[in-house]
Amino acid sequence: MGLMDLLKKGLKKTREGFFERIASALKGSKLDEATLEEVEELLILADVGAETAHEIVEMIKERYREAQDDPLEIAKKVLTEILEGDATISSPEKPPLVISVVGVNGTGKTTTIAKLGYLFKSQGKDVVFAAADTFRAAAIEQIKTWGERIGATVISQHMGADAGAVAYDAVSHAVSKGKDVVIIDTAGRLHTKHNLMEELKKVHRVVSKILPGAPHEVLLVIDATTGQNGLVQATKFKEAVEVTGIVVTKLDGTAKGGVVIPIRHKLGIPIKFIGFGEGMEDLKPFSARDFVEALFD
């Protein structure tokens, strides 16, 4: 199955009903106030947020005034332009590449790490998982199970251990054994908990001490079912740890994940991956064009 098919499959539920309605509202029609209002309403229902939805509608209006193209095409263009960004994963001059995966509780960090690990494994890379979620009961067992399944080394300590120490161990293991990728599983933390955000900073500080420039990627996992709170999460995590990219998970439900649009639009953080299923291969690099095309198709 090609990438587009996978995307379409995963986004099928998203497309049905929602963007289909936008599409039919826009397709070939004249752009009148009623249509625009409907578009705005649909964007809000997709969790784009009232403010950004309004801005997008204004942009569509503006473009339409300039050139009376097909309104649907204009809308696609506007959304693609907003969402476009560098989705590549940076590669350091010398391995290991260190990726820290962060986010609030329950967004699917550990599953995403397993999928990321699988992706790197399939590229022939040696992968190390750092079980740095030492807070949640059985989080270590969870990452260990995944490590076994996909053949990644898991570096762990006991529950309640210092997360920074675990990350440190994992990175030094990777450096000395010449492994290619280290993925750090951090504990879920609400962005409102000052102490936990400080702890996360510390984990990164410790890692950068042993390997300057690491972590090279800090991926924030956003649950597609999240509302405008997602924008606050992104803001706070970015303030604390310089988030380099977003992973949107759970796009296989009926949620639209529209909150990534204001996240990209207002904070400038690129979306790097999308997750849309329980299977190991259900994680793909994000492409704005494919994403928007698949939505409207």
Partner 1 sequence: MFEALQERFGKVIKNLTGKGRLTEKNIADAVRQVKLSLLEADVNYKVVKDFIERVKSRVLGEEVLKSFTPEQQFIAAIRDELIGLLGGEQRRLNLVHRPSYIMLVGLQGSGKTTTAAKLAKKLKKEGLRPLLVAADVYRPAAIDQLEQLGKVIEVPVVTGDRKNPEKIVKEAQEIAVNRNHEVVILDTAGRLHIDDEMMEELSRVKELVRPDEILMVVDAMAGQDAVNSAKVFDERLDLTGFIVTKMDGDARGGVILSIHYVTGKPIKFVGVGEKIDDLEPFYPDRVASRILGMGDVLSLIDKLEASMDAEKMKEMESKLKRLEFDLNDFREQLIQLKKMGSLAEVMSMIPGAPSVDAVKGEENMKKALAILDSMTPQERRNPRIINHSRKLRIAKGSGTTVNDVNRLLKNYEEFQKMMKQFKSNRRLLRKFGLNI
Binding stretches for partner 1 (CB under 8 A):
13, 41, 44-47, 49-51, 104-108, 136-142, 144-146, 159, 190-194, 223, 225-230, 232-233, 250, 252-256, 258-259
The C-alpha atoms of residue 64 and residue 136 are separated, in whole angstroms, by 51
By beta-carbon proximity to partner 1, the closer residue of 49 and 96 is: 49
Minimum separation from the CB atom of position 39 to partner 1 (A): 13
Question: Which residues neighbour 42 within 8 Å (Cβ) at sequence distance 6 or greater?
Answer: 18, 19, 21, 22, 25
By beta-carbon proximity to partner 1, the closer residue of 96 and 108 is: 108
Minimum separation from the CB atom of position 279 to partner 1 (A): 13
Minimum separation from the CB atom of position 18 to partner 1 (A): 10
CB atoms within 10 A of CB 80: 16
Nearest residue to 130 (alpha-carbon basis) of 189, 197, 191, 179:
179
By beta-carbon proximity to partner 1, the closer residue of 203 and 259 is: 259
By beta-carbon proximity to partner 1, the closer residue of 46 and 207 is: 46
Q: Contact, 58 vs 76, CB < 8 A?
A: no
By beta-carbon proximity to partner 1, the closer residue of 194 and 201 is: 194
Provide the β-strand partners of residue 194: none
Minimum separation from the CB atom of position 211 to partner 1 (A): 29
By beta-carbon proximity to partner 1, the closer residue of 252 and 290 is: 252
Burial 151-188 (b: 16+ CB within 10 A, else e): ebbbbbeeeebebbebbbbbbebbbeeebbbbbbbbbb
Minimum separation from the CB atom of position 265 to partner 1 (A): 15
Exposed/middle/buried for residue 35 (C-beta within 10 Å: 0-12, 13-18, 19+): middle
Residue type present at position 34: A
Minimum separation from the CB atom of position 73 to partner 1 (A): 26
Minimum separation from the CB atom of position 262 to partner 1 (A): 11
Burial 132-148 (b: 16+ CB within 10 A, else e): bbbbeeebbebbbebbe
The C-alpha atoms of residue 46 and residue 48 are separated, in whole angstroms, by 6
By beta-carbon proximity to partner 1, the closer residue of 215 and 262 is: 262
